[in-house]
């Protein structure tokens, strides 16, 4: 499996600029015959978005960009960080999420569990925590998902859950 990692530096709040960089990275990954392309946490809106999430048009632009990225996923699996609206009436208005696209379809969605609230991080103000691990396949390999703090902050946190869903990569 050939994996591409987009080491972009998203501009916080500049969805149009970030989308342009993302689409170019997709084009390059496809030209390089990659099967999997990874983007950073909240790549579409930039990180940390902080109070920009108070402006609904930023979140809406992020979701429109997500649809454009989905269309470009033909022939490649794309993992992209975005702001997902919390459609329930419970908790915070958003989730810090990763969409998994394959062949023009959303096949999985992962929501960050551990939301930092220290130093410059204020994720608990805006995001509702996720509560499910996600496993998807690329070329017959089971791959698990995590976002930042989920992996490095609580020893054994995700490994306990992923032990129930055997994976070959995280």
Give me the residues paired with residue 100 across strands.
79, 108
- Residue where the block lists tokens 């600029």: 17
- Does the annotation mark 30 as catalytic? no
- Does the annotation mark 41 as catalytic? yes
**In Å, how far are 22, 23, 91, 92, 146 from 1, measured between CA atoms?**
21, 21, 39, 38, 20
- Does the annotation mark 34 as catalytic? no
Listed in sequence order, the DSSP H helices in the chain are 15-31, 56-71, 123-126, 149-152, 157-162
* Catalytic residue of the set 34, 61, 84, 112: 112
**In Å, how far are 16, 136, 146, 167 from 23, measured between CA atoms?**
11, 23, 23, 29
Task: Residue 81: name the closest of 63, 97, 57 by CA.
Answer: 97
* Catalytic residue of the set 34, 84, 128, 148: 148
* Catalytic residue of the set 34, 41, 123, 128: 41
Query: Which of the residues are catalytic?
Result: 41, 112, 148
């Amino acid at each position: 499996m050939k994996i591409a990692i987009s080491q972009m530096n998203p501009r916080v709040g500049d969805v149009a600029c970030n989308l342009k960089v993302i689409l170019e990275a997709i084009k390059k990954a496809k030209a390089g015959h990659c099967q999997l392309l990874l983007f950073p946490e909240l790549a579409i809106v930039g990180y940390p978005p902080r109070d920009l999430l108070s402006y609904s048009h930023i979140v809406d632009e992020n979701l429109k960009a997500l649809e454009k990225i989905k269309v470009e996923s033909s022939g490649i699996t794309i993992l992209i960080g975005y702001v997902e609206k919390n459609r329930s009436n419970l908790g915070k208005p958003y989730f810090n999420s990763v969409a998994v696209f394959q062949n023009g379809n959303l096949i999985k969605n992962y929501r960050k569990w551990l939301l930092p609230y220290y130093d410059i991080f204020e994720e608990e103000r805006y995001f509702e925590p996720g509560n499910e691990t996600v496993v998807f396949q690329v070329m017959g390999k089971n791959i698990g998902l995590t976002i930042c703090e989920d992996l490095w902050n609580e020893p054994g946190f995700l490994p306990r859950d992923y032990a129930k869903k055997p994976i070959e990569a995280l």
